[in-house]
Amino acid sequence: MSGDHPDPCAVNSLVETPGCSPVEGRVVWDPIHSIWNGGMLAGALVLGPLTVSPGAAAVFAITTGAGLLLGHSVGFHRRLIHGSFKCPLWLEHVLVWVGTAVGMSGPFWMIRTHDLRDWAQRQADCHDYLAHRRPMLIDAVWQMHCRLKLMHPPAFDLGRVGRDRFYRLLERTWMLQQVPIAAGLYLMGGWGFVVWGVCARVAASVSGHWFVGHLAHRRGPQSWLVEGAGVQAHDVPWAAIPTMGEAWHNNHHAFPGSARIGLYPGQSDWGYRFIRLLERLGLAWDVRTPETMGDRKVLVPAKP
């Protein structure tokens, strides 16, 4: 069940069905996400230069950073998807709302997309879409404008997350969550704040998420290899700060249920620092780290 699985390395929401396979399938256009992602990028490119100001740039930096830290990294990835720490439900709702406001999609879509890729990359082979094997331009179009239709897909069980009425509302209205944000930004600073606080922020978050994900499965340092996995992960050190620690992707493949992703000296991990702050405030507990997860037998050290 998503977010509350007893196995810290499990793919939480995915249920393997007889004959399911991550290999055979076709990539098709995803009109909803394509039009949304393309529209936000077009708005940023066309209107951004006309409305830029120091205030608008500050709004972009603050809202993008806060969204990626509180929502995407801590709320969506480390809490909702992996259950790497526990917190009060009201706080989880706030963090997941922020994650939805990042503008990539709703919580159910994010969980299914993540868990399908996670499961597929652990198999001996998977479709190029799931492995980021195609050249960069093709992969960008595939990931931000298309979706994969597997011939024999697995099933999903979102558990208590799927039954949560607030998350069901967010799933139906994820695009509309930008409306109150845009209204507040307009009152604060006019259309420049809206363009940079909504269009540019969403475009940068979506494009950056794809770009780092593409590199993290193609090249870069490795500390660990996962035996039997057809796709191995790499770290993207330069992206550690803008991704709030998520760019230490090789570490994440090695210890997927860990709330701490930057594991070694010099590896910045603002997401984990925020979780530790919540822990000190009594708002987070049962925080998982590799030290508390036990040995994972499929791990072997990567050669230098």
Q: What is the mean pLDDT of the chain?
A: 96
What is residue 157's predicted lDDT score, i.e. its pLDDT? Answer: 97
Is residue 131 within 8 A of residue 231, CB to CB? The reply is yes
Sequence-ordered list of residues with C-beta below 8 angstroms from that of 233, at least 6 positions apart, any chain: 121, 216, 217, 222, 249, 250, 252, 253
pLDDT tens string, the chain, 304 residues long: the values are: 455 556 888 898 999 999 999 999 999 999 999 999 999 999 999 999 999 999 999 999 999 999 999 999 999 999 999 999 999 999 999 999 999 999 999 999 999 999 999 999 999 999 999 999 999 999 999 999 999 999 999 999 999 999 999 999 999 999 999 999 999 999 999 999 999 999 999 999 999 999 999 999 999 999 999 999 999 999 999 999 999 999 999 999 999 999 999 999 999 999 999 999 999 999 999 999 999 998 888 999 998 7
Helix (H) or strand (E) holding 293: helix 290-293
Nearest to 11 by CA among 133, 174, 155: 155
**Token pair 């995915």: residue:** 14
What is the pairing mode between strands 155-156 and 25-29?
unpaired
Q: Could you read off the pLDDT of 217-256 as tens digits, one per residue? A: 999 999 999 999 999 999 999 999 999 999 999 999 999 9
pTM of the model: 0.95
Vertex 36 angle, CA 31 and 40, to 5°: 150
Q: What's residue 1's pLDDT?
A: 47
Domain ranges of the chain: 14-220
| Burial 256-267, CB ≥16 within 10 A → b, else e | bbbbbbbbeeeb
Query: Looking at residue 304, what is its pLDDT?
Result: 73
